[in-house]
Chains A and B, each alone.
Chain A
Amino acid sequence: MEIGLVHYLSVAAVLFGLGLLTVMTRKNSVGILLGVELILNAAALNFIAFEHFVVGDVGGQIFTVFIIVLAAAEAAIALAIVLSVYRNFRSIMADRMTTLKN
């Protein structure tokens, strides 16, 4: 069996689905962040697969480099925010951060 575009797209789709599930169901803020990383990886895999099988320039790889750069920046900022929240709430569960409610 020859591995083609559809196989890579399916892997990326399942990866995206698992990431989406993680983001939607986790209460722990760091867990939610892990889900975001899964989603970003799935998107990057799609870019590379389309570049290899359809488009054929380096545009997909350029996009993926930027995805990796922005994911690193996002992780650094998000973890700084998580530390700050932990200092104020003594917990990083997303359902406890209800200061703005009511």
Chain B
Amino acid sequence: MPPISSLLFVVLAGLALGSAGVVAFSRNIIHSALALLGTFLGVAGMYITLSADFLGATQVLVYVGGTLTLILFAVMLTARIEDMKVSNPTQGLGAGIGLVTVVLLLLGKTAATTAWTLNVQPDNPSTAKLGHAFLTTYLLPFEVGSIVLLAAMIGAVVLARRAVKRDWEKE
């Protein structure tokens, strides 16, 4: 019987990678978008096993609650509902798989042959440390991040807005 942490890792990795496979190979864009949910949940679970508990919660809240909803909205708004074929065609799958295999071999070789100086941390919650770091050392990047979000929000509104001219504006 393997220890429970190994079992948990296998389950989470299987969830993340299986859903990622559906994202990459599904013929239906809605299936792809919904399968991304499994990947996000699996990665969030792995964050928690790596004692990054705050990030696990943030991942679920921001990605699942925000980004995924946004993506589903975009799919619904841009697919023609009447023909019901919300397609997701692929092109050049063979060349893509070949290139990705080369990249994966390179990454695997690097990860396996590099002598990492391991310094494994104890499994403690790290939210308090993260909060202190954000409000002391990393205060400026934190604030810049807020400004980036504000700018992105305004930009998205400007881009997605329909330029409708009212009658009194045309004169």
Asked if residues A75 and B70 are in contact (CB atoms below 8 Å), the reply is yes
Asked if residues B160 and A84 are in contact (CB atoms below 8 Å), the reply is yes
| B-side contacts of A38, CB under 8 Å | 20, 23-24, 36, 39
B168 contacts partner chain A, Cβ-Cβ < 8 Å: no
Asked if residues B39 and A77 are in contact (CB atoms below 8 Å), the reply is no
Given contacts A68-B62, A92-B78, contact A62 B133 (CB under 8 A): yes
Asked if residues A26 and B90 are in contact (CB atoms below 8 Å), the reply is yes
CA distance A64 to B111 in the complex (A): 20
CA distance A59 to B88 in the complex (A): 38
Given contacts A6-B111, A38-B39, A75-B71, contact A17 B103 (CB under 8 A): yes
A interface SS class: helix
CA distance A4 to B120 in the complex (A): 9
| A-side contacts of B58, CB under 8 Å | 65, 68
CA distance A79 to B20 in the complex (A): 21
Asked if residues A48 and B87 are in contact (CB atoms below 8 Å), the reply is no
A97 contacts partner chain B, Cβ-Cβ < 8 Å: no
Contact partner of B108 (CB less than 8 A), chosen from A10, A45, A55, A71, is A10
CA distance A39 to B14 in the complex (A): 17
Interface string of B60-84 (1 = CB under 8 A from A): 0011001100110111011000000
CB of B171 to closest CB in A, whole Å: 25
Interface centre among B50, B107, B133 (most CB of A within 10 A): B50
CA distance A45 to B12 in the complex (A): 13
B140 contacts partner chain A, Cβ-Cβ < 8 Å: no
Interface string of B27-66 (1 = CB under 8 A from A): 0010011001001100100110011101100110011001
* B positions within 8 Å CB-CB of A: 2, 5-6, 9, 13, 16-17, 20-21, 23-24, 29, 32-33, 36, 39-40, 43, 46-47, 50-52, 54-55, 58-59, 62-63, 66-67, 70-71, 73-75, 77-78, 87-93, 95-97, 99-101, 103-104, 107-108, 111-112, 116-121, 126, 129-130, 133-134, 138, 141, 145, 148-149, 151-153, 155-157, 159-160, 162
* A positions within 8 Å CB-CB of B: 1-11, 13-22, 24-28, 30-31, 33-35, 37-38, 41, 44-45, 48-49, 51-56, 58, 60-62, 64-66, 68-77, 79-84, 86-87, 92-93, 95
Given contacts A22-B24, A80-B155, A82-B74, 12 further A-B contacts (CB under 8 A): A9-B107, A13-B111, A17-B101, A18-B24, A20-B100, A30-B78, A45-B43, A48-B52, A61-B54, A73-B149, A79-B156, A95-B91
* 4 closest residue pairs by CB, A with B: A73-B152, A80-B159, A80-B160, A80-B156
